[in-house]
Amino acid sequence: MDPANATTRTRTDPRIAILHAGIVGLTLTTAAIHASLGGLLFTLNAIGYAGFAVLMVLPGPIAAVRWLLRLGLLGFTAVTIGGWILFGARFGLAYVDKGVEVALVLALAIDLWLEDGGPAGVRRRSRSLVGAGVARIGGWRR
């Protein structure tokens, strides 16, 4: 599937709009849970999730790199889950939050597949960034 055609097709598909709304809702839900826990680490985590939620709905030029935001949110969520597995407290709300985060990971994976053509589509888009010179900022050339 060509990612450019996928984006055109999926913009008009109401199921994709529901998926995007679900991603934003799950992101804001886990942000609210982390904000309610208090402490610097939880507050920073909540701010990170809230920032991703805002970026996911912003129109304009940010839409061109929405695939990168999806990957970033996916990684952020995976690291949060991993941190909880290693160091987190085991209580009811924590398990609810991990369920929300696992659902978020699944929704993001589905969205990456539908919107960007899966791993191959993401690879093509990342290569187009390199071709545009974004990766040359650090002196790296292909």
**Global pTM?**
0.79
**pLDDT digits (tens), the chain, 142 positions:** 444 544 444 557 899 999 999 999 999 999 999 999 999 999 999 999 999 999 999 988 888 888 889 999 999 999 999 999 999 999 999 999 999 999 999 999 999 898 887 777 777 777 776 666 554 444 544 4
- Report the C-alpha gap between 9 and 119 in whole angstroms: 19
- Report the C-alpha gap between 22 and 107 in whole angstroms: 8
* Of the candidates 54, 57, 107, 55, the residue with the CA atom closest to the CA atom of residue 77: 107
